[in-house]
Amino acid sequence: MTEPATPADQTVLVTGASGFLGRAVVRELLAGGYAVRTLQRTPSRTPGATDVLGSVTDPEVVARAVAGADAVVHLAAKVSLAGDPADFERVNVGGIRTLLDAAQAAGVPRVVHVSSPSVAHHGDSIVGDDAGPADPALARGDYARTKAAAELLALARDGAALGDGSTPESASAGSVMRVVAVRPHLVWGPGDTQLVARVVERARAGRLPLLGHGAALIDSTYVDNAASAIVAALRAVDDVHGQAYVITNGEPRPVAELLAGICRAAGVEPPRWSVPASVARAAGSAVEAGWKIRPGADEPPMTRFLAEQLSTAHWFDQRRTRRDLRWEPAVSVDEGLRRLAASYS
């Protein structure tokens, strides 16, 4: 293996840096000595980073953001359980295409594409698997489908010649783009407005059931671990380009235990009632159909994808991830729950 790229004199563009994980990645890069530029629609709110405001779908804004960058970490995405399919396509697929085109033209040699394990989830249990192939045709829902398509686009650009858009065969050594995809799984921690906030809100309202017996084992990732793994992928990209890696804490827990831990950290009662998984899946399909006709103001209370996620096992073999990225999670699930509790207190 080659030595990792050093932070000195390296400028990294992070897209989607105003999001929960994006801010953590920016902090991790700054702590490691990188110069950080961000691209998102609202300020990143991270001292030390230079913001470029705008959409990842705007070619002019993206070209300005990538100019002079040594690497890109791409997190910007439309993340939702429901919405207009065209919006998912425009942001998740169109956004990565626009970014890759601009980065290639600007001569940016390294790209870390932040994907999702949902790109290879087909509704069945995942028990100790590695990163399976992304498949838009089998992915569940518009988010997973478009993220799968985006990952395929990103990895297809690996080895592309930089600068003039010529073929890889015509490029000189070192003048090609290297792309790696990473798939953080169920990222959570203090300040999370997605998983944690929704679990707590629904538990507080008495609307958080267990699906089945809540015994399905699921992996998750504490936010600081996800951020450090993404930076590790950036440092290792010259050796691991062209591949996809799932990132987790490597501590599978029964879904009931993980939900209870989050609820107790927030000072609310964990779920005490359950719904058969088959009923939840059917209800999720019905809610999705109704949501398309008359969307609500917030996320739908249940979708088929969400029902599958809460009632099937999904935990992953982390040996290849840790070996290739030369990375280990630093914060255990239990320590993460303690930090979460401290943030609520």
The secondary structure of residue 176, as a DSSP letter, is B
Give the whole-angstrom CA distance, residue 220 versus residue 253.
8
Closest by CA to 227, choosing from 75, 22, 7, is: 22
Among the options 34, 143, 222, 245, which is catalytic? 143
Pairing of strands 110-114, 35-40: unpaired
The secondary structure of residue 57, as a DSSP letter, is T
Pairing of strands 178-184, 110-114: parallel
Our CA angle for 115, 118, 119, nearest 5°, is: 65
Active site residue 222: no
CB 299 within 8 A of CB 291: no
The secondary structure of residue 41, as a DSSP letter, is S
In sequence order, the β-bridge partners of residue 274 are: 210
Distances (CA, A) of 262 to 93, 209, 265, 334, 341: 33, 14, 5, 10, 8
Give the whole-angstrom CA distance, residue 243 versus residue 120.
14
- Look at residue 83 and give its three-state secondary structure: coil
Q: What are phi and psi of 51, to 5 degrees?
A: -90, 140
Q: Which residues are catalytic?
A: 143
